[in-house]
Structure 1
Amino acid sequence: MSRALFIHGPNDARVAPFNLREGRPDEVLLDVAAVGLCGSDLHYYKDGGIGAAVIKAPFVPGHEFGGFLCEDLEPLGLPKGALVAVDPNKACGHCEWCHEGHFNLCPNVEFIGAPPFDGAMTDRIWVPKSQIVPLPAAFDPLEAVMLEPLGVAIHAVDLAKPKLLERVAVLGCGPIGLLVIQVLKAAGAGEILACDPLAHRRDTAKKIGADKVGASVAEIVEWSAGGCPLTLEATNSPVGFRDAVTATRIGGRVVLVGIPDGDTYTLPAADARRRGLKIKFARRMGEVYPRAIALVAAGKVDVRSVVSHTVGLEEAPAVFAALAVNAPGYIKALIDPRA
């Protein structure tokens, strides 16, 4: 029998036997090679849900994953045993938002690893054949997993539209913030000013190319003489929106990528209004997997720099607990069900 990590409610993650359901005609079975522990998984663990996506019964998270095909996939010319990535977002394709190309915003989406749809923190999973992403032969499970968070970063930078050599502030140097920094550099942004309260994340941000990294937004304001023309916020803080406003100069742009703890922002309205800021919210990603693969294959984004831990399934509850309290040394954790 399979085993899986279940989130039962706030601060309650357990590994237990898992009955793999029957597959459907449009699905293919994967042996899970690795799965990432995402910030949204952590919100399910800490808060019991995100907005309307509430855990009502024990639920298996995990939407960042790669796996080995358990059978040949003829339409894509992929043999049994091939390593593939998976796009977890199965939009309906019929609503007005899908027709406008906003598949990431589809209200009828079946998203692997978001309640009530179980995810990949287990050893085997059925996934729609249409969501399979073929990979270059040289890719390994870590790279397969990291394409999904990299896709989130690409989508955020697409929304931001950085100008050539434009100075940019990045708030939060967790996995998404670190990937955003690298995508910004690949997109031709100028000086990148970043901040994070955790020293080990600041160190990583410096290593992967941020020009200056501080512990607070006040340092970004000082370095930029009053704020940057563009800010990307990738924190889990209820004051992340407020800090993004503070980091942005009059007439600037803000892209909010992070999900705040408690699902609530704290924002004094006058400061944002008086700066005349343009605000965008990022949710998941668009059709970005080909670019994510190309960036990794070309060495323009180093996804390995973001991964700090790889553990087996039985160790996963302890990793959830450690990340929930910002334990030193943790950035991105991967779970290997085979370990």
Structure 2
Amino acid sequence: MTIAQHGQSVNQAFVLHPGGSFHYEERDIPTLHSERDVLVQVIATGLCGSDVHYWQHRQIGRYIVKSPIVLGHESSGVVVECGSESGFAVGDRVALEPGVACNTCSHCRAGRYNLCQAMRFAATPPYNGTLATYFCVPAECCYKLPPHISLRDGTLIEPLSVAVHSCRLAGDMQEKSVVIFGAGPVGLLCAAVSRAFGASTVIVVDVVPSRLRSAPKHGATHTYHAKSQSPEQNATDLMKIEGLKLGADIVLDATGAESCMKCGFFVLTPGGTFVQVGLGRPDPSLPVGQICDKEIVFKGSFRYGPGDFRTAIGLLQTNRIRLDGLITHEFPFSKAEEAFQNVASRAGIKSVIYGPDVDEHGAKSKLI
């Protein structure tokens, strides 16, 4: 089946320009470069905080928007063309892993391809993302959706993989107590994965009550509304929650906020593990005395690595994790900029943009 037979002959893209303005453009349709490549019609894309940050600040660390770029990297779609060695067929419903590693460097060969310095990651300058009609990836970056997961909800597999990777870094969670800072999409998915991995106590912390109300649906056994007081006092109040008499075994910070990080170190039990999931200021002030005094294990978490997408899909396939209620706002392609504004205002939990000319009803439907 050709692209024209599939009903789409134009590749529409939503493009961010260096000055901060968005424009709709028609771009060339990507072509397959090998028999293992897959061309996907993008059905839906979830917006990430990094997308909004590039729009508002034009830079994240060493990645700078110097030329027009297509944002978006949390996507699902339908295969419209594929190579003979891809293992896919036209019509397959897939989630996309948006980074292509070199597969030859020492990090890739050691099984840590997320650290590959030659990584071509969608929506990270200079590489274009998925807010377009079509996106082309190698077969290893495509994952068939479980039949009970809609294409709309398939956009959550990428952030779910981030949560899986973070929880794996935390180590054995069986019967452990876990405190998670941030009740946004990644924080809530970290809670869900923690419970699926066996944690007995999962406490989600946030300053937004409406987000905390969603936490019990996604694995939280307790919630804590952080107050306008010192990190030490918030930690003291947190430890009054059942199961935290000696402090938490594990802390996952999905906010990047300095106050949350400090509180996390104070609430950890001696010998506990702290995993930094979210990014905030590049140089926060941290209580090094607490880190040393408690012999805290501090780990950074970066995207996802081998097996994380497979595990995420396995958790969905077996219904150990449910995605209901995480997507709170949906936008047609023609209102993509409105979606960015919605995320910037912190409205709801997750916002999704449908691809050009997508049947939104069909995107929400499941195969079973």
Q: So what's the TM-score if we normalise by structure 1?
A: 0.91
| Matched residue SS, 1:270 | helix
| Matched residue SS, 2:163 | helix
Distance 2:149 2:203 in 1: 31
Task: Name the residue aligned to 1:7.
Answer: 16
Task: Name the residue aligned to 2:294.
Answer: 275
Gaps of 5+ in 1: none
Distance 2:121 2:104 in 1: 16
Deviations 1:250-302 (A, max 9, x none): 22110110011x43423243233322211011101112222211111111111
Residue 132 (str. 1) matches residue 142 (str. 2): yes
How far residue 9 of structure 1 moved from its aligned partner, in angstroms, is 4.8
Closer/same/farther in 2, CA of residues 321 and 243 from structure 1, 3 Å limit: farther
Task: Name the residue aligned to 2:4.
Answer: none
Task: Name the residue aligned to 1:331.
Answer: 349
How far residue 137 of structure 1 moved from its aligned partner, in angstroms, is 3.9
Residue 78 (str. 1) matches residue 88 (str. 2): yes
Residue 306 (str. 1) matches residue 326 (str. 2): yes
* Aligned counterparts, 1:186-225, within 5 A: 186-216=196-226, 218=234, 219-223=237-241, 224-225=244-245
How far residue 158 of structure 1 moved from its aligned partner, in angstroms, is 0.6
Closer/same/farther in 2, CA of residues 239 and 60 from structure 1, 3 Å limit: farther
Structure 1 stretch displaced more, 98-107 or 266-275: 266-275
Distance 1:5 1:295 in 2: 32
Whether contact under 8 Å (1:20, 1:125) holds in the other structure is no
How far residue 304 of structure 1 moved from its aligned partner, in angstroms, is 2.8
How far residue 113 of structure 1 moved from its aligned partner, in angstroms, is 2.0
* Aligned counterparts, 1:35-114, within 5 A: 35-114=45-124
Q: Which amino acid aligns with 1:284?
A: R
Residue 322 (str. 1) matches residue 352 (str. 2): no
Q: Which amino acid aligns with 1:332?
A: K
Structure 1 stretch displaced more, 314-323 or 296-305: 314-323
| Matched residue SS, 2:213 | helix
Query: Aligned to 1:284, which of 303, 318, 321?
Result: 303
* Aligned counterparts, 1:220-299, within 5 A: 220-223=238-241, 224-225=244-245, 227-260=247-280, 262-287=281-306, 288-299=308-319
Distance 2:195 2:276 in 1: 19
| Matched residue SS, 2:302 | coil
How far residue 319 of structure 1 moved from its aligned partner, in angstroms, is 2.2
* Aligned counterparts, 1:155-170, within 5 A: 155-170=165-180
| Matched residue SS, 2:123 | coil
Whether contact under 8 Å (1:162, 1:230) holds in the other structure is no
Gaps of 5+ in 2: 1-9, 361-368
Closer/same/farther in 2, CA of residues 22 and 319 from structure 1, 3 Å limit: closer
The alignment yields a C-alpha RMSD, in angstroms, of 2.1
Percent of aligned pairs sharing the same letter: 28
Whether contact under 8 Å (1:9, 1:44) holds in the other structure is no
How far residue 84 of structure 1 moved from its aligned partner, in angstroms, is 1.4
Q: Which amino acid aligns with 1:275?
A: K
Q: So what's the TM-score if we normalise by structure 2?
A: 0.84
How far residue 226 of structure 1 moved from its aligned partner, in angstroms, is 5.8
Whether contact under 8 Å (1:238, 1:264) holds in the other structure is no
Task: Name the residue aligned to 1:25.
Answer: 33
Which structure: larger Rg?
2
Distance 1:238 1:13 in 2: 30
Closer/same/farther in 2, CA of residues 47 and 133 from structure 1, 3 Å limit: same
Distance 2:263 2:55 in 1: 25
Deviations 1:11-55 (A, max 9, x none): x35241131354242233221111111122232233322211111
Whether contact under 8 Å (1:202, 1:213) holds in the other structure is yes
Whether contact under 8 Å (1:254, 1:280) holds in the other structure is yes
Count residues in correspondence.
335
Whether contact under 8 Å (2:173, 2:194) holds in the other structure is no
Query: Aligned to 2:159, which of 128, 146, 149?
Result: 149
Distance 2:190 2:271 in 1: 22
Deviations 1:188-217 (A, max 9, x none): 111111111111110001232312111216
Whether contact under 8 Å (2:32, 2:83) holds in the other structure is no
How far residue 173 of structure 1 moved from its aligned partner, in angstroms, is 0.9
Distance 1:119 1:166 in 2: 38
How far residue 120 of structure 1 moved from its aligned partner, in angstroms, is 0.5
